[in-house]
Amino acid sequence: MHGSCRKPHHDSPDGLVRADTWLEQQGGAAAIERPAWLLMTGDQVYVDDVAGPMLRAIHALIARLGLVDEHLEGATVENSQALYRSTHTYYHREALLPDVTSNTALRERFFGGVKKPVFTSANAHNHLMTLAEMLAMYCLVWSPTP
């Protein structure tokens, strides 16, 4: 079996939940009918295409857990608290990233000239930017507790 990034707002059912259901349905089936291993590739979460409600939940969990603030070097906001307070924190995060123009030829070759922010994604509107956001995202995607 193969598992990869979880995207809670995707329009299809969760593939890993389906895999779990399938394994449960196999019950006592012979080992030959069951997968020999589970290969988990990728980062296990999408950090560039985060739904607005999920980003709000991430920020609520950061506050609830008391996760530490951090300095954001090179961004247009000084630290994580400034990021969370910014009017651009939801749906406009690409405006908070420095505009890098030194790699124009490389961008032209690999991205067809589409201008990308520091994070090379066309979906950076709600891109996670802090370690606390990453940790909270993993907790929300992989645990029912939060």
110 and 98 both lie in a single domain: yes
20 and 70 both lie in a single domain: no
52 and 33 both lie in a single domain: no
Mean pLDDT of the chain: 80
pLDDT at residue 81 above 80? yes
54 and 126 both lie in a single domain: yes
134 and 128 in contact (C-beta within 8 Å)?
Answer: yes
Query: Which letter does DSSP use for residue 143 in this model?
Result: -
pLDDT class of 23 with cuts at 50, 70, 90 = confident
Strand partners, 71: 79
pLDDT of residue 140: 93
Alpha carbon distances (Å) from 91 to 14, 54, 96, 103: 24, 12, 11, 25
pLDDT of residue 117: 46
Considering its fold, how many domains does the chain have in total?
2
100 and 39 both lie in a single domain: no
The pLDDT tens digits of the residues spanning 26-58 come to 876 665 677 888 888 877 888 888 999 999 999
The mean pLDDT of 7-25, rounded to a whole number, is 82
CA distance 7 to 51: 9
pLDDT at residue 61 above 60? yes
39 and 91 both lie in a single domain: no
10 and 69 both lie in a single domain: no
Tell me the residue range of the domain where 131 lies: 46-146
62 and 99 both lie in a single domain: yes
62 and 118 both lie in a single domain: yes
Q: 111 or 12, which is more confident? A: 12
